[in-house]
């Protein structure tokens, strides 16, 4: 089980990330793009996720993943139950969502430093 503090620590370690509070919800952005958002109760995380893989992820692990609200289904986004994942899964989800927002050069530089 991971917490909102774990999400925050991972997200804030990623280059160009800015934490914002929007309508009582914590969001992590690169520029204007939100790549992670915590629910108001901080038990669920929404994050960038490939749309073409979303249905399969939800079908395979419905205890971990769920669809975003109807209005957000057009985006590359998925909801994650923080109590159902471990720190390695969280790191992968947050980092991959971040990669969807940053220039490829920034991601390559990050990878070179963390290889």
51-81 as b/e: b if 16+ CB within 10 A: eeebeebbeeeeebbbebeeeeeeebbbbbb
Q: pTM of this prediction? A: 0.94
> Which range marks the domain in which residue 15 is found?
4-110
Asked, for residue 59, whether it belongs to a domain, the answer is yes
CATH number assigned to the domain comprising residue 60 = 3.90.1150.30
In a domain, 11, yes or no: yes
Please report whether residue 95 resides in a domain: yes
- Residue 115 belongs to some domain of the structure: no
Total structural domains within the chain: 1
Give bridge partners of residue 22 from the DSSP assignment. Answer: 25
40 located within any domain: yes
Residue 54 falls inside a structural domain:
yes
Q: Are 80 and 6 in contact (CB under 8 A)?
A: no
Q: How far apart are CA 5 and CA 7, in angstroms?
A: 5
**Residue 94 lies inside a defined structural domain of this protein:** yes
Each residue's pLDDT expressed in tens, for the chain with a length of 115 residues: 899 999 999 999 999 999 999 999 999 999 999 999 999 999 999 999 999 999 999 999 999 999 999 988 999 999 999 999 999 999 999 999 999 999 999 999 999 998 7
112, with CB counted inside 10 A (0-12, 13-18, 19+), is exposed
Residue 53 lies in a domain: yes
């Amino acid at each position: 089980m991971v917490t909102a503090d774990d999400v925050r620590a991972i997200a804030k370690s990623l280059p160009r990330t800015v934490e914002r509070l929007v309508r009582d919800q914590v969001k992590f952005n690169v520029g204007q793009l939100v790549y992670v958002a915590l629910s108001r109760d901080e038990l669920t995380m929404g994050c960038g996720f490939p749309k073409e893989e979303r249905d399969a992820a939800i079908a395979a692990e419905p205890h971990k993943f769920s669809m975003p609200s109807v209005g957000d289904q057009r985006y590359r986004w998925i909801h994650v139950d923080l109590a159902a994942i471990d720190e390695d899964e969280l790191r992968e989800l947050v980092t991959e969502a971040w990669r969807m927002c940053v220039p490829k050069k920034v991601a390559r530089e990050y990878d070179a430093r963390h290889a």
